[in-house]
């Protein structure tokens, strides 16, 4: 009996030792990979990043990111930023350049899950073991495993002017917008986006008929169209309320910091977020530096810079404003896998619904 106990203990100790060795080996492997990336990046003096003009808060934010990136990894690299086309057009450019055998005009691609779905299908992005190489990146941050790393979580929703819409009359859901008990408050003054996509995407959680009925009622209450980024027109009182605005919660934070009476409401349960990510094109001219940049923006240091300049952050990075907001508000987000499955179906899956809604919005 005693011999068996001793034998069991010996096997257990061997097993624990083996686990420790394997763990150490994995850590060393990750460190060696990171060391190789840093060594390679030192031979790449600059990084080209083409995105929307206000990406991450514009040139000042990118200057701060550049300085912090160099400090963290011991580099002396330069980020060459250029304002480019919108995300769909930029994704198309990345794919075209890859197929033509040319180097990518941008070393980094920035977009949401709809854009990454397209790049994923075209196998246009570098495969990187993000969570294996960078200790601060977790598996859930890889929205598209090996391809895209979550940089910030954006919550679309209703925006209203709290000086013009009293709290007891304010909507709490999208469907409240068309509720006859509340809608007289904004009938004929409700701003609707000119875009179809946000309504079609409600199809992920609503039935097709429910989406169409909601759209018909919404159009009947409309007082005009309001593009994303024009939330100042709600602040000014031109429109007391906007049915939907991209980045509504982040816009609320920015305007409230200036004393503006702007309030955001996440209109659905679960909330349909935009998961904005960074990835590296396969034909990147500076792949090592690009990978370090992607990883850095997902770090706590990088997130602090995004919050400072653009009030955006990832809900998966502990301590960020978005992480705290979701925790305190008890807001449930749609799982990335569900929205990815929707986008991977392609345009044709919702084509008929899209056409019908487009006609409704033109009325």
| pLDDT for residue 102 is more than 70 | yes
Q: pLDDT value at position 363?
A: 79
Compute the mean pLDDT over every residue in the chain, rounded to the nearest whole number: 91
Q: Are 97 and 103 in contact (CB under 8 A)?
A: yes
Mean predicted confidence (pLDDT) in 94-106 = 97
| pLDDT for residue 30 is more than 70 | no
Report the b/e string of 342-359 with b at 16+ CB within 10 A: bbeeeeeebeebbebbee
pLDDT above 70 covers a percentage of the chain that reads 91
Q: Name the pLDDT band for 235 (thresholds 50, 70, 90).
A: very high
Please tell me the pTM assigned to this model: 0.88
Domain boundaries, the chain: 24-154+275-332, 157-270+342-361
Q: Are 353 and 208 in contact (CB under 8 A)?
A: yes
Q: Are 64 and 308 in contact (CB under 8 A)?
A: yes
Specify the 3-state DSSP secondary structure of 181: coil
Say whether domain 157-270+342-361 belongs to CATH 3.20.20.60.
no
Per-residue pLDDT tens for 109-168? 999 999 999 999 999 999 999 999 999 999 999 999 999 999 999 999 999 999 999 999
Q: Are 334 and 271 in contact (CB under 8 A)?
A: yes
Which fold, 24-154+275-332? D-Maltodextrin-Binding Protein; domain 2 (3.40.190)
CA distance 153 to 137: 15
| pLDDT for residue 28 is more than 80 | no
Mean predicted confidence (pLDDT) in 309-331 = 97
Per-residue pLDDT tens for 330-351? 999 999 999 999 999 876 678 8
Q: pLDDT value at position 6?
A: 38
Q: Do domains 24-154+275-332 and 157-270+342-361 have the same CATH topology?
A: yes
């Amino acid at each position: 009996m005693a011999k068996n106990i001793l034998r069991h203990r010996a096997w257990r100790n061997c097993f624990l030792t083996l686990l420790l060795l394997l763990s150490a080996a994995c850590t060393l492997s990750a460190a060696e990979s990171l060391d190789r990336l840093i060594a390679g990046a030192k031979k790449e003096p600059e990084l080209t990043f083409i995105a929307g003009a206000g990406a991450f808060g514009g040139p000042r934010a990118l200057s701060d990111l550049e300085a912090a990136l160099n400090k963290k990894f011991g580099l002396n690299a330069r980020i060459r930023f250029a304002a480019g086309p919108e995300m769909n057009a930029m994704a198309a450019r990345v794919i075209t350049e890859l197929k033509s055998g040319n180097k990518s005009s941008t070393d980094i691609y920035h977009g949401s899950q709809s854009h990454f779905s397209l790049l994923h299908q075209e196998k246009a992005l570098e495969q990187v073991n993000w969570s294996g190489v960078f200790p601060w990146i977790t598996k859930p941050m890889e929205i598209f495993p090996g391809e895209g790393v979550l940089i910030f979580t954006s919550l679309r929703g209703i925006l209203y002017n709290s000086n013009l819409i009293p709290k007891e009359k304010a909507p709490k859901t999208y469907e409240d917008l068309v509720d006859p008990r509340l809608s007289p408050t904004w009938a004929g003054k409700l701003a609707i986006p000119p875009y179809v996509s946000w309504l079609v995407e409600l199809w992920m959680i609503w039935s097709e008929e429910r989406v169409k009925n909601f759209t018909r009622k919404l159009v009947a209450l409309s007082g005009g169209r309001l593009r994303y980024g024009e939330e100042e027109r709600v602040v000014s009182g031109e429109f007391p309320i906007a049915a939907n605005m991209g980045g509504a919660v982040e816009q609320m934070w920015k305007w409230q910091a200036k004393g503006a009476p702007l309030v955001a409401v996440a209109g659905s349960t679960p909330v349909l977020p935009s998961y904005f990510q960074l990835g590296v094109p396969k034909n990147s001219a500076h792949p090592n530096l690009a990978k370090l940049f992607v990883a850095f923006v997902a770090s706590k240091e990088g997130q602090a810079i995004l919050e400072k300049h653009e009030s955006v952050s990832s809900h998966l990075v502990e301590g960020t404003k978005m992480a705290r907001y979701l925790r305190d508000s008890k807001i449930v987000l749609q799982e990335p896998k569900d929205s990815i499955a929707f986008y991977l179906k392609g345009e044709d899956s919702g084509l008929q619904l899209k056409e019908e809604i487009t006609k409704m919005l033109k009325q």
